[in-house]
Amino acid sequence: MDITEIVEPLGLLAGAEARAAVAAGLALPLAGGPLAFTLARRDGALCQAMELPAPLRAALSATPPPFAGLPTDRPLIMGILNVTPDSFSDGGRHDAPQAAIAAARAMLAEGADLIDIGGESTRPGAAPVTPEQELARVLPVVRALAHEAVLSIDTRHALVMAECLAAGAHMINDVSALRHDPAALAVVARARAPVIIMHMPGDDPRTMQSLAHYEDVALEVAGFLAERVAALEAAGIPRARIMLDPGIGFGKTVAQNLELTRRLPVLAGLGCRVLYAASRKTFIGRVAGVPEPAARMPGSLAVALAALERGATMLRVHDVAETRQAVAMWRALAAPLA
């Protein structure tokens, strides 16, 4: 999709104001609600939301289909489980299977809706591992947890995808949007597995930061994801099994990460639910002056709530209990007035 075809919702409303404006015909629900928007930017020009052509109004206001059988009545929390020695925040803490299994169970007890298991660090500059090395790290964890939790496998490799899905994993989370491994599209399509696809310039974390050049980061990310959705559909993966991740921290500067977060509603018209994954990332540390990743929980909560206010439906986080509490308060504030 050409980026000029992306329509960006603006003038967001929440809570009772959103419901009243939709009922009065002054706003459209954003991706089915609970947010609404009164304005839109199309081809660089502002217009009233209600003045958009009917097909665009329908695309922007339609509720995306349920994803992976997960609840749709509230934001979802994905707990991060890095079974690696070198991930940026928690590398080495869970690289033994029993430690990883215990950490996953702790996150589930804290309220995680699903667990995202990764065996390869994708931090900027991270060295790659072979699919066999990655599989040796994650497969024992998948086998132990498959009957206890919804499991996502954070991988770029078709072999890891296939083996983990066969062992009971429920979905794939690929930072390369199924571009890194030529066999990945077929594996996901054949398994009928839900998949999360992310924006990253190029398909290699070692070089992504050198490619952080955009004329308009929000429109270009949306255009890339629209093209990938079309490619996945052509390969037999329907839109109902696709979730979108704008790739915060992957080939973006601090300013670009902030801009992309502010303009997250630009993804609303693509017909898929949206994952926001910024927990403890470097841009938070640079803005807040916090060099230690593990100390960035307050900043992580701030951007997570900002993402919910802009249409995200799932949060990928390290701090599950704290995020669950923050989301509970956000939902209470957005609830109908008594």
**Cβ atoms of residues 261 and 306 within 8 Å:** yes
Q: Which residue has the tokens 């839900």?
A: 194
Domain with CATH 3.20.20.20 in the chain: 76-334
Q: Rg of the chain over CA atoms, in angstroms?
A: 19
| Burial readout 72-100 (b: 16 or more C-beta within 10 A, e: otherwise) | eeebbbbbbbbbbeebbbbbebbbebeeb
Specify the CATH superfamily of domain 76-334. Dihydropteroate synthase-like (3.20.20.20)
| Burial readout 256-273 (b: 16 or more C-beta within 10 A, e: otherwise) | bbbbbbebbbbbbbbbbb
Closest CA to 199 of 222, 181, 173: 222
Q: Average pLDDT of each block of 10 consecutive residues along the chain (338 residues)?
A: 73 93 96 94 95 95 95 96 70 72 97 96 78 94 96 97 98 96 98 97 74 89 97 97 97 96 97 97 97 96 97 97 97 69
Q: Which pLDDT belongs to residue 301?
A: 98
Q: What is the pLDDT of residues 129-181, one digit of tens each?
A: 899 999 999 999 999 999 999 999 999 999 999 999 999 999 999 999 999 99
Q: How far apart are the first and last CA of the chain?
A: 44
Predicted structure pTM score: 0.93
Q: Which residue has the tokens 């997250």?
A: 264
| Residue 221 backbone dihedrals phi, psi, to 5 degrees | -65, -45
Residue type, 225: L
**Cβ atoms of residues 156 and 202 within 8 Å:** no
Half-sphere exposure of 127 toward its Cβ, with a 13 Å CA cutoff? 6
CA–CA distance, 152 with 147 (Å, rounded to integer): 13
Active site residues: 281, 316
CA–CA distance, 59 with 57 (Å, rounded to integer): 6
Tokens of 110: 């804290």
* Beta pairing partners, 199: none
